[in-house]
Amino acid sequence: MVSDGYTGKWQNVGTGTEAFPKGQDIWTSKEFMKQFNQMRKSDTYVWQPNLVAAKDVIITYVDQDGREIHSPQMISGGYVGETYDATTANYQLMIDDYTLDDQRLPGNATGILSDQEQTVTYVYQKNQDFTEVNVHDSTIYVGDSWQAEDNFDEAFDKLGNPVAFQALIVDDQQVNLSQAGIYEVTYQYGGISSVAQITVKENQTVVNVHDATIYLGDKWQAEDNFDDVLDKAGNSVDFKEITVTGDVDTAQRGHYEITYAYGNSMAKAVITVVAKDMGNHPTDMNTIDEVTEKQSEEIPSQEATTEQADQQKKSLPATGEQEQTVLVVLGILLLMSVIVLFSSKKMYHE
């Protein structure tokens, strides 16, 4: 018997409800009675309603400006009059970089299926992106050691969590530490890039010292042979910052090598210690050969001394010769006295 709203057949509820059965058994009364005696399953059978297929419920996902941020989903396959629920995790989605705006939840997230299409819209807020990469510029000098991490300051992911340097993508292929120039290094993470400028300058470091010759017993200190030192930038460096290696024993003649070092640069000075000289004190840059030559000129050899003595002997008269010379001189003096006296008397008589 057919009545309004029913088909006149029996249907098991199955996964549906009594108002909206979804079972697969649909029988007439005669079939139902026949099958009932043979049934081995437990279920509820109701009059099959005259069901009308409902239109879909469309669930959409947009940002605060109404732009779609996820593909829509659908609730479909129901009948007019059935309930629907779009508040479950299957429909209320977690979307990367967005948070569901709980102040703008749709009022029709739950409802009744109808013969008209319905739309449920979820609005999401864009999460603040904290992704950040911070680097700095620097100036170095030819020959310096350098690595990209030297110019890295810090980085954060989109949630604001710190990111290790190893997680970054770095392009430092342009940097040439052996040639002066300006080079750019790119640091990248999470779509964010930062550029550090590496300026490589010529290295002006130089160490200037000088050699010297001193006497045995003279006072000496390393600073005596130090001239000046320039750092990488060409600025003067105080002697206190110099590393000196070696020492001079002023009690022992010889050549002493002293090393002066600053950074990667070094220079050597040779200090020569010679014997004491009665002449002028040796000045810087005199060589031990010059001093030795001067000493050899002033000290006569044994042969020269013997030769000079022989010459002196030849120039001096013998003992007999000396007495004879004295008598001759006395005679001459006596003769001159007589002549002077005679001349005086003659003039008086006249």
User: Residue for token digits 């009665």?
Assistant: 278
Q: Using CB atoms within 10 A of its CB, is residue 244 exposed (0-12), middle (13-18) or buried (19+)? A: middle
**Per-residue confidence (pLDDT) for residue 281, from 0 to 100:** 53
Q: What is the pLDDT of residue 204?
A: 93
Least confident of 174-178, 317-321, 342-346: 317-321
Average pLDDT along the chain: 85
331: confidence class by pLDDT, cuts 50, 70, 90? confident
pLDDT of residue 299: 36
pLDDT attached to residue 36: 72
Percent of the chain, pLDDT > 90?
A: 60
E-assigned strand segments in 33-151:
45-49, 57-63, 68-75, 83-85, 98-100, 110-112, 118-126, 132-135, 138-141
The pLDDT, as a whole number, for residue 16 is 84
Superfamily name and number for 206-297:
Immunoglobulins (2.60.40.10)
Higher pLDDT, 287 or 203: 203
- Which of 195, 208, 203, 250 shows the shortest CA–CA distance to 231? 203
Q: One fold for both 57-126 and 132-201?
A: no
Using CA atoms, how far residue 300 sits from 278, 279, 295, 304, 307, in Å, is 15, 16, 10, 6, 11
Answer with the residue of higher pLDDT: 40 or 181.
Answer: 181
Confidence of residue 342 (pLDDT cuts 50, 70, 90): low
CATH code matching the domain that covers 57-126, chosen among 3.40.50.800, 3.10.20.320, 3.20.20.70, 3.30.1360.170: 3.10.20.320
Mean pLDDT of 16-39: 82
Q: What is the mean pLDDT of residues 252-271?
A: 96
Q: What is the mean pLDDT of residues 75-79?
A: 90
Contact 90, 151 (CB under 8 A): no
Q: Does the structure show a pLDDT above 50 at 289?
A: no
Question: Where are the chain's structural domains?
Answer: 6-49, 57-126, 132-201, 206-297
pLDDT at 345: 55
Mean local confidence (pLDDT), 115-120: 97
Q: 331 or 149: which carries more pLDDT confidence?
A: 149
Q: Which amino acid is at 284?
A: D
Report the half-sphere exposure of 210 (CA within 13 A, side-chain side).
11
Q: Up-side HSE of residue 54: CA atoms within 13 Å toward CB?
A: 21
If you classify domain 132-201 with CATH, what class do you get?
Answer: mainly beta
pTM of the full predicted structure?
Answer: 0.49
Give the count of beta carbons closer than 10 Å to the beta carbon of residue 70: 16
pLDDT-derived band at 5 (thresholds 50, 70, 90) equals confident
